[in-house]
Amino acid sequence: MDKYAVALENITKTFGRRLIFNKLNYIFSSSNVYGIAGQNGSGKSTLSKIIGGLITPTKGKVIHSEKEKEIIDTKLPNYLGFVSPYLVLYDEFTALENLEHFAHIRGMKYDKERAKYLLQEFSLYERRKDYLKGYSSGMKQRMKFIFALFHKPRILLLDEPTSNLDIAGKDKVYEIIEREGRENLVIIASNEESDLALCGEIVRIEDFKTL
């Protein structure tokens, strides 16, 4: 499969006078699993949002590319699967309705077989017609992975991916991460040692706190 890469060039982020990280340079490439590590409040989620194009850096540039061709910002959602605590699901919809709506807003054809496969993969197929407001926090976390994987992304960006999951749920997530990391790019933002143990390389936020 063609190489997918993300280059961080002199990424600096400040909130007012508070420095989050400074002059962060790094290249992530496909067929790898990377970690972003740091204490709570250190800036892991901020860096994840910058990589995912949700917020902009104060200085510097993020370049996504496939086959060494830069991907424009408006096309990035087609390549990106995102799991995070701040990702919002539609509680008033069923799991199937959520996926149908997801496909609609992405402008893609709804793939019933893909939906069935992922719902079965994450043990939610029997609850596919239930409203998400009746789901547990762990079930909603699994739904977030289904959202992230539905369009077969080239990069999976996972912020605290195993929060609210039981042992079986974590095992499934780790299986998915290892599978996706063989061909695609996976980046995990976490301070859980079991999450970071999957990563071949780790970016530590504390290393980029000085001016």
Whole-prediction pTM value? 0.95
Sheet holding 18-29, edge to edge: 18-29, 4-15, 59-66, 69-70
**Which domains occur in the chain, in start order?**
1-78+185-211 (3.40.50.300)
At 1 the pLDDT is 65
What is the reported pLDDT for 80?
97
pLDDT of residue 53: 96
Which tens digits make up the pLDDT trace of 23-55?
999 999 999 999 999 999 999 999 999 999 999
Residues of the chain with pLDDT under 50: none
Full DSSP string of 71-87:
PPGGGGGGTEEEE-TT-
pLDDT in tens, 110-133: 999 999 999 999 999 999 999 999
